[in-house]
Amino acid sequence: MTRAGQRLNYPGIGATEQEPGEWPAGYRTLRVSDQVGRGDEDFAAAADAVMTWRMHRTAGVRFDTDAKRAVPGAQVVVGLGVGSLRTHAPCRVVWTVERPHRTGWAYGTLPGHPLRGEEAFVVVRDDDGTVRLEVLAFSTPATWVTAAAGPLLRFFQRWYARRTARVLRRIVDEERQALRTAGQGAEPDTDPDMEPDGEPDVEQSGAPDAEPSAGRGDHGKRDAG
């Protein structure tokens, strides 16, 4: 069981939000970036899949959590494997970010996790429209089993990062196709300003059109605890 009061068991909490030079010394690091789409619609689909755990669950990872989406402080128990071989890894979301071109979150390990460290999953939209998934992590073994795994552990971490990107790319493709199908099946809209005789109904007014109100930007959030 993961208790809300348990403390994260590694230094540099929240460091994956910074450049790798700011990460704790002595930890193995991982940086993987893969394209998963292109354009605003693909970014929105990828961001939603990451923030609602859909990407991880589709990749075959069990996510036990009461949170509907990633928020700082959310408790998560990650289950890897099957049956008696399943590993239960307790974590806590340490930061989130939701901006027009960058959305994602990171979790840190709690006592009972086979590793100590932090991992982030962030969807990025580049200036040229390319949408990428970035997986960033620093970690070190917390048990003799993971320590004995040696290079196999690093191989698995990189394999899993690539797998999440493949899964996210598939989700984005499915959402793009669903939008296209919905658009093809939609009935043409009737212009409400068009009179039955086909002439537009023009309202005379001397008042200028109102300027659109400015949108509120999203900012990164951290676990206050």
Give the CA radius of gyration of the chain: 22
Phi, psi dihedral angles at 165 (to 5 degrees): -65, -40
For the stretch 161-194, pLDDT in tens is 999 999 999 999 999 998 888 877 655 555 545 4
The total of other beta-carbon atoms located within 10 Å of residue 97's CB is: 20
For the stretch 34-93, pLDDT in tens is 999 999 999 999 999 999 999 999 988 888 899 999 999 999 998 765 555 567 889 999
Could you give all domains of the chain from N- to C-terminal order, each with its CATH number? 25-181 (3.30.530.20)
Q: What helix, strand, coil percent values describe the chain, rounded to 5?
A: 30, 30, 40
Q: Measured between alpha carbons, how far is residue 173 from residues 50, 51, 103, 167 in Å?
A: 15, 17, 19, 10
Q: Where are the alpha helices (DSSP H) in the chain?
A: 40-51, 54-58, 144-149, 151-185
Global confidence as pTM: 0.78
Angle at 142 between CA 138 and CA 146, to 5 degrees: 90
Cβ-contact 124, 132 below 8 angstroms: yes
